[in-house]
Structure 1
């Protein structure tokens, strides 16, 4: 289902939170005396972007304000985070508080009994609970229970472009696939990299490029059915193979720079910021990195648009792939005073104050706040308005199982290097069907 993020983003919600109020007061009946709590926290806010700096500051402030709580912090680079967490969880070791993604990851961790619901925490603050955009908390639900406190909003497939390069080469934002192909050819003929890509981790090609292209070809309903293996939809269907062929074409025409499979997404963003490519297809998360590392002149040259329409596609071209993104989760082992402390930390990292600070760090949030555009970069304000004018469609790694998403990531790597779309489609279908069967077995 498409998630509408229209003018509701611009609503102002005044959240009145007493300065001296501690979340632990809600749990007084269950307090265990003066016992000092010890909790573990895993996060991926390791970068120099403004959002990561903000979240690290919030964690530090929490520790200083709670000398009775010992927080064992593990800060893990984003590209390593999911794999490290999964490996630790497989060994039965899950942090007390950690970053969790909505959708498939939430369902998998809930089915495996690795996380606890946080409905008590959410319901204790109705103003906070009701301040989230529609479908935000629902994205972290499994069988009716909430397992994560949303921390952001992540449109994943924004077409960023360099206005100066466009003007110098008499180009305009492409609205059709044919226009995009023409632009790629013209830019290559002039020795200009058309689109920067950093696909070292595998997910950027899937999340930022393919999720939108595929939705324009297949439509959203088909993806939901195929992900759930329902109504006869399978990843070996002709419509999905057609989507893979469009993606393959980008590799064939030389849309990306050499070595893009060995560059990470941060390096890609800096490459674009330096004016070394005409375009970049990336998520809203790029904005906080650009705000921290790009010059004001470079950011003033940036524009934002949607990916072009696909001929005879079944999907709506006036959309962006996107997800509510990550949130803070409660590990299964947190009990007693440790659980109370974990609740406090989750609230500190995702409550109204954290949402406001996150927005002002040039990171979109799934929370009803008014944006003061004087506090953010011009390109962030432009993306804010763009996201406010369209609907979001699903991201593949948000609806597929972990194994299914990995099969897509690996398949797209192979596809861009000339791989066979039909063979890749078959491997994706096999991985998703097998993992979904196991997941449903665990739930029952």
Structure 2
């Protein structure tokens, strides 16, 4: 064989082996095996989640009994979502300045991402302005989340237009908290009717004991209970929409009647709700009109162990039953429209909203503040006997009614509040105060 022919055959053999090797490599790839090379590129890792900052505003501040539980729930969320930073912006509900802050923030482009605030007239302005989004579709799209709520709780926060703008957390009840020991020591019967109330006020006042701890300015609970006692559930809940119910005048007149008997603290014109609560919590007052949350602020065992809570008694000439109470789900979490429209924040804010209104968080908040849980299947017996009696009071009530300040404009309610001192000191008649409030309410609707 010629040398040239040999060389040609050798080249063909090498080429054939090369082709065979390439074919084998392709077959290996087809079978799922990955050829190993020195320069293999590692698999690209998942991109980290974008950092998000959210601001939550609430009244879980100051001395609120659920403050720590609320912060713990936020911390739990951020620990599971390290890319989300949450600012816990709080004020005390006893500081009327929180309403001003909310209204200013909601009208100046400084809306919090989540807002825990009142349902009703207090929120009407920013709801009507489209500053928050209806949550119906978000609830309907997550059946697990929605089914975690008590249906009654969701219905209680539904607005007149059929939308739910605020998702509830815990509800509340208000009532007449009474120091049973003070009554027993002074041979007094519990004030379950008007005559017993007047007898208690007269007796205790003469002995230097504050009968009913209440301020004149922050007179929220006084207004609600005296009007409910006089006007009954229907008259109370009508607000001033259908004119002035004459029974509202009877409610204000009854405030003066008890004032003249010495019912209120001597400094009622200058103290706030916090100081009134202190008077009761320190055993200096025999009664106080307060909400379920107040018990957490009373530290003296001698007061706590001897406290019961009952409905405010019906007054003669009124239409209240003596078993009507104030309560419900008067607040909840709102989702800002600007946050909902922000692609970077929307999902994070909704995730936080769902976490803060999960059955587990609701139960912890309810245990802390003694509130009625908005979650289905969560039963809170109450940390104290008084709390248990409070839940029983609501369960046995003839009616459970939202506070008056959810039914009238904030400016109207401010007038009603200012009217308490004016009426009890004789500077104005109940009719005068109610006429002023009605005029403001009408002007606010124009």
User: TM-score, with normalisation over the residues of structure 1?
Assistant: 0.82
Tell me if 1:126 matches 2:133: no
Task: Rate the CA distance shift 1:33–1:249 in 2: closer, same or farther, 3 A.
Answer: farther
Compare 91-100 and 427-436 and name the one that shifted more: 91-100
Partner of 2:255: 247
Tell me if 1:388 matches 2:395: yes
Compare 385-394 and 126-135 and name the one that shifted more: 126-135
Partner of 1:303: 308
Compare 111-120 and 411-420 and name the one that shifted more: 411-420
Task: Rate the CA distance shift 1:402–1:49 in 2: closer, same or farther, 3 A.
Answer: closer
| Contact 1:220 1:394 (8 Å CA) reproduced | no
Cα distance in 2, alignment partners of residues 430 and 212 from structure 1: 23
Q: Which has the higher contact order (CA 8 A, sep 6+)?
A: 1
Cα distance in 1, alignment partners of residues 150 and 407 from structure 2: 19
Partner of 1:136: 153
Partner of 2:434: 425
Q: Deviations over 1:254-283 (max 9, x none)?
A: 211121232232332232121111111111
Partner of 1:281: 289
What SS class does the counterpart of residue 385 from structure 1 fall into?
helix
Tell me if 1:147 matches 2:165: yes
Partner of 2:42: none
Post-superposition shift, 1:167?
0.8
Post-superposition shift, 1:307?
0.8
What SS class does the counterpart of residue 50 from structure 1 fall into?
coil
Post-superposition shift, 1:107?
3.3
Cα distance in 2, alignment partners of residues 350 and 324 from structure 1: 13
Post-superposition shift, 1:356?
0.8
5+ long unaligned stretches in structure 2? 1-46
Task: Rate the CA distance shift 1:163–1:239 in 2: closer, same or farther, 3 A.
Answer: closer
Q: Deviations over 1:120-177 (max 9, x none)?
A: 3322443442443454223333312211110121223x11111111111011111222
Partner of 1:341: 348
> Number of matched residues?
392
Cα distance in 1, alignment partners of residues 239 and 407 from structure 2: 10
Compare 273-282 and 118-127 and name the one that shifted more: 118-127
Cα distance in 1, alignment partners of residues 380 and 172 from structure 2: 19
Tell me if 1:61 matches 2:76: yes
| Contact 1:217 1:313 (8 Å CA) reproduced | yes
Tell me if 1:408 matches 2:408: no
Cα distance in 2, alignment partners of residues 423 and 316 from structure 1: 27
What SS class does the counterpart of residue 136 from structure 1 fall into?
helix
| Contact 1:362 1:376 (8 Å CA) reproduced | no
Cα distance in 2, alignment partners of residues 261 and 152 from structure 1: 32
Task: Rate the CA distance shift 1:124–1:289 in 2: closer, same or farther, 3 A.
Answer: farther
Task: Rate the CA distance shift 1:45–1:161 in 2: closer, same or farther, 3 A.
Answer: same
Over the residues paired in the alignment, what is the CA RMSD in angstroms?
Answer: 2.2
| Contact 2:62 2:91 (8 Å CA) reproduced | no
Cα distance in 2, alignment partners of residues 282 and 372 from structure 1: 19
Q: Deviations over 1:383-412 (max 9, x none)?
A: 122222213123110111222222212222
Compare CA radii of gyration and give the structure with the larger one: 2
Cα distance in 2, alignment partners of residues 413 and 57 from structure 1: 41
What SS class does the counterpart of residue 93 from structure 1 fall into?
coil
Q: Deviations over 1:94-124 (max 9, x none)?
A: 2111112112234332112121112233224
5+ long unaligned stretches in structure 1? 1-31, 438-444
What SS class does the counterpart of residue 338 from structure 2 fall into?
coil
What SS class does the counterpart of residue 67 from structure 2 fall into?
helix
- Pick from 242, 262, 269: which aligns with 2:270? 262
Partner of 1:102: 119
Post-superposition shift, 1:417?
3.2
Written as runs of structure 1 = structure 2, the 5 A alignment for 1:206-245 is 206=220, 208-227=221-240, 229=241, 233-235=242-244, 237-245=245-253
Cα distance in 2, alignment partners of residues 271 and 224 from structure 1: 31
Post-superposition shift, 1:33?
8.8
| Contact 2:330 2:402 (8 Å CA) reproduced | no
Task: Rate the CA distance shift 1:33–1:140 in 2: closer, same or farther, 3 A.
Answer: farther
